[in-house]
A = this chain, B = another copy of it.
Amino acid sequence: MRLSSSPRFEQFGSVRIHQVQRVIELDAGRGRTSSSSSSSSGTVVVGRHDLSAVESRMAVVVLCMNEQSHTVESVLSGIPHDCFVVLVSNTRRAPSDGYEAEVAHLLRHCADTGRRAVAIHQKDAGAARALRGAGAGQLLDDGGLVRDGKGEAMFVGLALAAWAGCEYVGFVDADNYVPGAVLEYCKAFAAGLHLAGGGGGGDAMVRVAWGSKPKARGGRLLFDRRGRCSRVVNEWLNRLLQELSGYGTECIATGNAGEHAMTMSLAKKLRLAGGFAVEPFELIYLLQGLEDGPTTDKAVGGGGGGGGEARLAPVHIRQIETRNPHLHDDKGDDHVSGMRCQALNMLYHSHITPPSMKTTLKEWMVAEKMLEAGEEPPRERVYPAMEEVDLEVLSRVLSEASETMVVSVQPPLPHEGCCCWS
């Protein structure tokens, strides 16, 4: 894969946000087995070997809810073979069992391809028990099952990726109609993670900005550049950066990026938010930095001891603009779009947001009818970081008690033997 190079970045504490890179060639050719950059053309190639090295250590978590089985099958066909597939489904199970159909498709796909995968339902009672036992009971609702929500599904997927010993984890939505886009997202994950750390497994994240989103309007297709909510969230996140540094910036272009990936090292340190606040909150949480860390000596981006003079390795945030249109199931976008703006609630309640900005933000939300006058933005849920969870308990209870977890049996699962199967 060839990308435009990204020599510029902005740094906030230990968080280094790189300028958006564009995909120039989906396939950079066979001469490009290793990576190289060309300053004359302003591009960088991540070679096939380097892409493969990341892919074979990466779990791709597919988040699924009531999709057509056609669509799920198509998404699977787009995920590079070497990735470990983790399907987390919140598909309805009655009157007909949609989850059972998804699993049947997944298992047939794995049998055809010799691919490794695991599937679980978000409402699995055994998974709920395992999470409670492992110290993540906050994820459960009053009925004792994992709450609905995207952040909650990602938490479950991340737990399974950690359990399987993966070194990288990426997230894609199952409602994508373009398998070639799914392939591009995964390649962009691998390329960005390689560029961020050279495979060293430090703290890095790759967030995808799709190039366009086709919408059917007036009988024809129009290609929108950004959804309205994405623009709003990016703008407010960039305002926060200006508050932190004093300089105006437009460096965040991926505040709401559903398609994103990170090193497991970073994923374990992140506290995920619930629902659609999850993706923007990853950035806010990183910017909050040390103070909120699970423990002071295991800070995000931290290089070890808690001493004030210890140097923090940067957390690299790479942003990649992909080529394929993002064509997905239209589930009433206005509603979803509103929910995606949950980011603003997180921003409002963050302690790094200055009071003056909070006031402006609240006024804006009232003017936009996202809030009643005089109301406070609601607080969104924040869950413990994976490193605060007892993965051993989680794994044991899950194996014993899960009612919906299905593992493709051939070849053996990565976690058997050692912590990574590569």
A77 — which chain B residues lie within 8 A by C-beta? 23-26, 323
Tell me whether A30 and B52 are in contact (CB under 8 A).
yes
Most chain B CB within 10 A, of A180, A181, A323, is at A180
Taking CB as reference atom, which chain B residue is nearest A26?
B183
User: Which of A197-205, A216-224, A398-406 lies at the binding interface?
Assistant: A216-224
The size class of the interface chain A forms with chain B is 35 or more
Give the CA-CA distance A20 to B330 in the complex, in Å. Answer: 31
- Using Cβ atoms and an 8 Å threshold, which residues of chain B touch A74? 211, 323
Is A231 interfacial (CB-CB < 8 Å)? no
How many chain copies? 2
Contact pick for A223, options B2, B43, B113, B177, CB 8 Å: B177
Asked if B220 contacts A29 (CB within 8 A), the reply is no
| CB <8 Å contact, A214 and B26 | no
Contact B43 A323 (CB under 8 A): no
- Bound-state CA distance A109–B77 (Å) is 29
Q: Is the CB of B26 within 8 A of A327?
A: no
Pick the interface stretch among A78-86, A121-129, A352-360, A384-392.
A78-86
- Contact partner of A27 among B43, B81, B323, CB < 8 A? B81
Complex interface: chain B residues within 8 A of A24 (CB): 77, 109, 112-113
In the bound complex, how far is the Cα of B41 from the Cα of A115, in angstroms? 12
Q: Are A179 and B26 in contact (CB under 8 A)?
A: yes
Given contacts A74-B323, A78-B26, A177-B325, contact A41 B330 (CB under 8 A): no
Q: What separation, in Å, do the CA atoms of A82 and B184 have in the docked complex?
A: 18
A41 to B109, CA, bound (A): 10
Per the bound structure, the CA–CA distance linking A114 and B52 in Å amounts to 23
In the complex, the answer to whether B81 meets A111 with C-beta atoms within 8 Å is no
Q: Is the pair A81, B324 in contact by a Cβ cutoff of 8 Å?
A: no
Do B179 and A323 touch (CB < 8 A)? yes
Instruction: Name A177's contact: one of B25, B42, B80, B214 (CB within 8 Å).
Output: B214
Q: Which of B78, B219, B323, B327 interacts with A78 by CB under 8 Å?
A: B323
Is the C-beta of A56 less than 8 angstroms from some C-beta in chain B?
yes
Interface residue A48 (Cβ < 8 Å from any Cβ of B): yes
- Please, how many angstroms separate the alpha-carbon atoms of A115 and B220 in the complex? 34
In the complex, the answer to whether B29 meets A82 with C-beta atoms within 8 Å is yes
- Chain B residue contacts of A330, Cβ below 8 A: 220-221
A407 contacts partner chain B, Cβ-Cβ < 8 Å: no
Is A298's beta carbon under 8 Å from chain B?
no
Within 8 Å of chain B (Cβ to Cβ): is A32? yes
Interface flags for A176-201 (1: CB within 8 Å of B; 0: not) read 01111101100000000000000000
Known: A26-B77, A29-B82. 17 other contacts (CB 8 A): A2-B112, A23-B77, A24-B109, A24-B112, A26-B78, A26-B183, A27-B81, A30-B48, A30-B56, A30-B82, A31-B82, A74-B323, A178-B324, A179-B324, A221-B327, A221-B330, A327-B327
